[in-house]
A and B are shown apart, each in its own frame.
Chain A
Amino acid sequence: MQVNEKEFKPTIVAFCCNWCSYAGADLAGTNRLNYPADVKIIRVPCSCRVNPMFILRAFQRGADGVIMCGCHPGDCHYTTGNYYARRRMTLLFSMLDYLGIERERTRVEWVSAAEGAKFAATMNEFVETVTKLGENKRLEDLRCKEK
Chain B
Amino acid sequence: MQGKMIARAKELLQNGTVNRVIGWKAGDFAYDITPAVFNSAEELDAGFVYNDFCGANFSKYLVKESRKEGKILVFLKPCDTYSFNQLTKEHRIIRDNIYVVGVPCDGKTDGETLKLKGITGITGIKTEGDSFVVDTLYGEKTIAKADALPERCLSCKSKKHVAYDELLGEDGEVCESNRFDMVEKLEAMSSEERFNFWRGELSRCIRCNACRNVCPACTCERCVFDNDNSGIAQKAAADSFEENMFHIIRAFHVAGRCTDCGECSRVCPQNIPLHLLNRKFIKDINEFYGEFQAGEDTETRAPLNIFDTEDVEPSVVYEKGGN
Contacts and interface: CB of A to CB of B under 8 A. Distances in A.
Contacts of B239: 141-143
Contacts of A56: 244-245, 248-249
A88 B307 CA distance: 10
- Which of A56, A96, A99 has most B Cβ within 10 Å? A99
B281 to A, nearest CB: 6
Interface stretch (A31-39, A78-86, A112-120): A78-86
B67 to A, nearest CB: 30
Interface of B: 183, 186-187, 191-199, 224, 238-242, 244-245, 248-249, 251-252, 255, 277, 280-281, 284-285, 288-289, 303-304, 307-309, 311-318
Contacts of A74: 309
B315 A108 contact: yes
A53 B193 CA distance: 25
Interface in A79-107: 80, 83-84, 86-104, 106-107
Given A140-B241, A142-B239, A100 B288 contact: no
A100 B304 CA distance: 23
Given A87-B303, A90-B284, A100-B194, 17 more contacts: A53-B245, A56-B249, A74-B309, A86-B314, A87-B289, A87-B307, A88-B304, A90-B313, A90-B314, A91-B252, A92-B252, A95-B248, A98-B277, A99-B248, A106-B314, A142-B239, A142-B240
A1 to B, nearest CB: 16
Contacts of A143: 238-239
B249 A86 contact: no
Contacts of B315: 107-108
Contacts of B193: 100
A138 interface: yes
Nearest to B189: A100
A84 B304 contact: yes
Contact of A93 (B194, B242, B251, B314): B314
A140 B240 CA distance: 8
A74 B255 CA distance: 25
Interface string A107-147: 11000000000000000000000000000001111110000
Given A97-B317, A100-B197, A140-B241, A86 B248 contact: no
A73 interface: yes
B251 to A, nearest CB: 7
A56 B241 CA distance: 9
B252 to A, nearest CB: 5
Contacts of A92: 248, 252
Contact of A80 (B238, B255, B307, B317): B307
B277 A95 contact: yes
- Which of B241, B249, B285, B318 has most A Cβ within 10 Å? B241
Interface in A35-75: 52-53, 56, 59-60, 73-74
Contacts of A103: 191, 317-318
B281 A95 contact: yes
Nearest to A110: B313
A86 to B, nearest CB: 6
Nearest to B284: A94
Nearest to B193: A100
Nearest to B242: A141
A107 B316 CA distance: 11
Contact of B313 (A86, A96, A98): A86
Contact of A94 (B192, B195, B317): B317
